[in-house]
Amino acid sequence: MVVSVEDVSSSLVREYLSRKGLKRTMACMDEEHPRTAASINNRSHLRQILNMEALYKNNKDSNRKRQSQRVEGPQLLTKEENTREGPPLTDPHPKRDIAQIDCTGGSRGWRSRVQRENSFGKVGPNCPEAETCPAASGLSEMVLDDVDDDDDLRDLSKVSFERTVAEPSCRGRPMDQHRAAELKTLLLGSSLNCFSVEWRNQGFTFSETHDLRYGIVQKKGGPCGVLASIQAFVLKNLLFEKVGGLQRLRPSSTCRRKCLVLATAEILWRAGEEKQATLAVNSGRNHFTPAGHYKSEGVFEKITCFTVDSIKDLQSLVEQHIEQFETGALGCVLLTISAVLSRSVEKVREDMDVPTTTLVGAHGYCTQELVNLFLCGRAVSNVFDDDMELDSGNANMTLLKGIKGHCDIGLLSLFEHYNICKVGSYLKTPRYPIWVVCSESHFSVLFGLQRELLTSMDTDLEFDLYYYDGLANQQEEIRLTVSVGKFATRCQDVDTDLIPPLEHCIRTRWKDAVISWNDTEPIL
């Protein structure tokens, strides 16, 4: 097989980085320039290609001679001779015991070579460059198939080469045109369609308004369903997972970023049925040249996918790439693609009532299928509980698929107020008092601070709910006081045309509730 200059060059660079112990640099290289089937992955093969076998043997014989000379003479001096005044006669850098140079940071859990030459650099567990990036585990080193040739490393047979159980196994897989076309068809309806500018320019950047630091800012209309969903899970971690501390609604930059990492991992892990998940990241370089019935937009061609099979590995992987999602322009697109890949294209189509449905609808709006994928891990088409069968005539039954169980995050819809749909109890009464609100073709978030309002059997309640809309250029905290039962003292002669849609949504959950906007301007 003919070996390309690029493959040889890549192998040489990887060998150099491996020898220097620059594992984080190698992780970046493996992400931006993933290995392929043509890659050279062992040193013996590389030496053969470069015609360096003879040079390698001569160099190894020279090393043996130098090593034997260092062992002779000076080490036979008596203790008294070593303590005489003047410069020491023994080697100031004796050969270290192999147990002292255990480098456990490598992706294959191998023990470091004895550091005989300065050119090898110092690699150890305390060396910053020896830290292993979770996403690159399994990629950092070339195959050490020439270790057995070194006489001074024969004792390595006594050392365990077993991979550390805690090390994640995660190999990057570059996107190809076939998979890209499948994704574009599912998301946008055709491989000739492209994401709108509003989608491509949307990341998960947080607000710097003092009272709204927890909020993700939406630049333009379109991907609000994705933004509201990730916002809801950020709030769940901030308010109820002891991440936010006392300043839950005014988190630090570090705290809210951590919540974004946890929220992203949770959404993808649920989409992968809590068995595995896939994270799509921008590698910065094209992996295929578009051809045929496919329109390029500079997004799918640059994607590398990492698949993991544990939630901890997923969280580490997301944390490593979180800047692409938080501050990167493609954050919203990458998370959507990651959710689909975690579920798989095939299962997403099986989830839908109509398999040809797209996840991004007219005008770039998120469909209910996409929002449900984020909220409950399945891209079902409906919001009622469980499945429903309808008689479509001629002894044919139509299966309508709904929500299978209680979700962490709920949903309230203005469409229910207009009797267009029925939101089931699984979404109306989620595990946490946080709801994505669908109103006027837009998604936003409503949330409370006390879980008790979901479990209280008392029909007479008064509690506060907070409202956040990332698209509305919101500048202040919106706190609503909801009164139910005996606390509700409804005003008479209310003009129904002036009732805010948000109030209608709230009353689909708490019937006849009276809602106070607490001196903030109602959103009509």
SS (H, E, C) 444-484: EEEECCCCHHHHCCCCCEEEEEEEECCCCCCCCCEEEEEEE
Q: pLDDT at position 365, please? A: 96
Q: Tokens 């709920």 label which residue? A: 410
pLDDT tens for 431-476 read: 999 999 999 889 999 999 999 889 888 889 999 999 999 998 899 9
Q: pLDDT at position 496, please? A: 63
Q: Tokens 């959507």 label which residue? A: 336
Q: Are 337 and 179 in contact (CB under 8 A)?
A: no
CA gap 232, 247 in Å, rounded: 17
Share of the chain above pLDDT 90, in %: 58
pLDDT tens for 327-340 read: 989 999 999 999 99
Enter the pTM of the model: 0.70
| pLDDT higher at 287 or 37 | 287
Task: Please compute the mean of the pLDDT values over residues 180-203 and round it to a whole number.
Answer: 97
Q: Are 248 and 239 in contact (CB under 8 A)?
A: yes
Q: pLDDT at position 331, please? A: 97
Which residues are designated catalytic? Answer: 224, 442
- Angle subtended by helix axes 177-188 and 331-343, to nearest 10: 100
As given in the structure block, the two tokens for residue 289 are 């040249």
- The vertex-518 CA angle with 515 and 524, nearest 5°, equals 65
Task: Please compute the mean of the pLDDT values over residues 105-121 and round it to a whole number.
Answer: 37
Residue 32, pLDDT > 50, answer yes
Task: Please compute the mean of the pLDDT values over residues 174-182 and round it to a whole number.
Answer: 97
The count of C-alpha atoms lying within 13 angstroms of the C-alpha of 28, restricted to the half-sphere facing its C-beta, is: 8
pLDDT interval class at 55 (50, 70, 90): confident
Share of the chain above pLDDT 70, in %: 77
Q: pLDDT at position 168, please? A: 45
CA gap 188, 127 in Å, rounded: 47
Q: pLDDT at position 2, please? A: 65
Residues 6 or more apart whose Cβ sits within 8 Å of residue 10: 33, 39, 40
Instruction: Give the DSSP H/E element, type plus range, for residue 396.
Output: strand 396-400
pLDDT tens for 363-420 read: 999 999 999 999 999 999 999 999 999 888 888 889 999 999 999 999 999 999 999 9
The sign of the CA dihedral 103, 107, 113, 119 is: negative
Q: Nearest to residue 476, comparing CAs of 206, 204, 210, 205?
A: 210
Residue 109, amino acid: G
| pLDDT higher at 427 or 62 | 427
pLDDT tens for 269-323 read: 999 999 999 999 999 999 999 999 999 999 999 999 999 999 999 999 999 999 9
DSSP conformation class of 100: G
Residue 24, pLDDT > 90, answer no
Q: pLDDT at position 248, please? A: 82
Residue 66, pLDDT > 70, answer no
pLDDT interval class at 53 (50, 70, 90): confident
pLDDT interval class at 518 (50, 70, 90): very high
Task: Please compute the mean of the pLDDT values over residues 13-27 and round it to a whole number.
Answer: 82
Q: Which of 166-170, 276-280, 310-314, 480-484 has the lowest mean pLDDT?
A: 166-170
Q: Which of 31-45, 58-72, 105-119, 212-226 has the lowest mean pLDDT?
A: 105-119
Task: Please compute the mean of the pLDDT values over residues 47-64 and round it to a whole number.
Answer: 78
Instruction: Give the DSSP H/E element, type plus range, for residue 349.
Output: helix 345-351
Q: Tokens 């190999």 label which residue? A: 171
Q: pLDDT at position 283, please? A: 95
Average pLDDT in the chain:
81
Residue 52, pLDDT > 50, answer yes
Residue 305, classified by CB atoms within 10 Å of its CB into exposed (0-12), middle (13-18) or buried (19+), is buried
Residue 104, pLDDT > 80, answer no
How far lies 470's CA from each of 142, 223, 464, 474, in Å? 47, 11, 20, 7
Residues 6 or more apart whose Cβ sits within 8 Å of residue 435: 232, 409, 410, 411, 412, 427, 445, 446, 447, 509
How far lies 197's CA from each of 200, 223, 229, 338, 398, in Å? 5, 11, 20, 19, 37
How far lies 123's CA from each of 39, 100, 231, 372, 422, in Å? 25, 11, 42, 48, 62
Task: Please compute the mean of the pLDDT values over residues 494-520 and round it to a whole number.
Answer: 90
- What pairs with residue 277 in β-bridges? 308
Residue 348, pLDDT > 90, answer yes
The sign of the CA dihedral 70, 73, 78, 82 is: negative
Q: pLDDT at position 305, please? A: 98
